[in-house]
Amino acid sequence: MRIGYARVSTLDQNVDLQLKALLASGCERIFSDLGHSGAQRLRPGLTEALEALQPGDTLVIWRLDRLGRSLSHLIDVVNDFGNRGVALYSVTEAIDTGSAGGLLIFHIMGALAEFERGLISERTRAGMAAAKLRGQNIGRPMKLGPGELEATLDGVTRGGLSLADAARRQGISRATLCRALRRRREMLAGNPAISPAGAHPIGL
């Protein structure tokens, strides 16, 4: 038996196109989820469809992203189907895991996607390393400029403000202020050209 599954992310989207494609593919039963994101693994319509599948059945979807947004979810589903003797057929991609060729194509797509993620990660790390060599800061910009930090320090050491009060006056959290002070201290310690004479005697 062919069992169809359709999904739209918002209630104002139309599911008719998917339903027509599933009916044209010979689906005898169709389950759907309206207003459910593909990132949600637990969806009432999908749960019913999976429970209805019996060995030898095929779950038909209009497109792979109707079943799940993440590659890991799709692979988990296909592996579970293999253990249950169930196949997956995607109308748009023309992938049928019930055949050896279709299953091979599906796993090749998964391997290529994983390879692409690895390349992106490598390029990101290489870019960060190159930026560090050029002296560029990595990460979120500091919320306090040098002048603001010195004024805040002055309020703590000479004005008797607590770190929490000083942070509140700058509109930041105490943790953010502590990180800024720690970075300042590390910069002074790592650069002997900067005289510590004017440094405020505050420790964290």
For strands 29-34 and 2-8, give the pairing.
parallel
Distance CA 164, CA 161 (A): 8
pTM (predicted TM-score): 0.56
pLDDT of amino acid 129: 78
Q: 2-98 belongs to which CATH class?
A: alpha beta
With a cut of 80, say whether residue 104 has pLDDT above it: yes
Q: Residue 21 is which amino acid? A: A
CA-atom Rg of the chain in angstroms = 28
Residue 195 annotated in active site: no
Higher-confidence position of 8 and 153: 8
Mean pLDDT of 89-98: 91
pLDDT above 70 coverage of the chain, percent: 84
Which SS3 state, helix, strand or coil, does residue 2 take? strand
Element (H, E) at 110: helix 100-133
pLDDT of amino acid 167: 82
The upper half-sphere exposure of residue 149, i.e. CA atoms within 13 Å in the direction of its Cβ, equals 18
* Domain spans of the chain, in order of start: 2-98, 146-198
Strands (E), 25-90: 29-34, 58-61, 87-90
With a cut of 90, say whether residue 145 has pLDDT above it: no
Residue with tokens 């995607």: 90
pLDDT band for position 141 (50/70/90)? low
Catalytic residue among 9, 32, 70, 162: 9
pLDDT band for position 202 (50/70/90)? low
Distance CA 172, CA 164 (A): 9
Element (H, E) at 95: strand 95-96
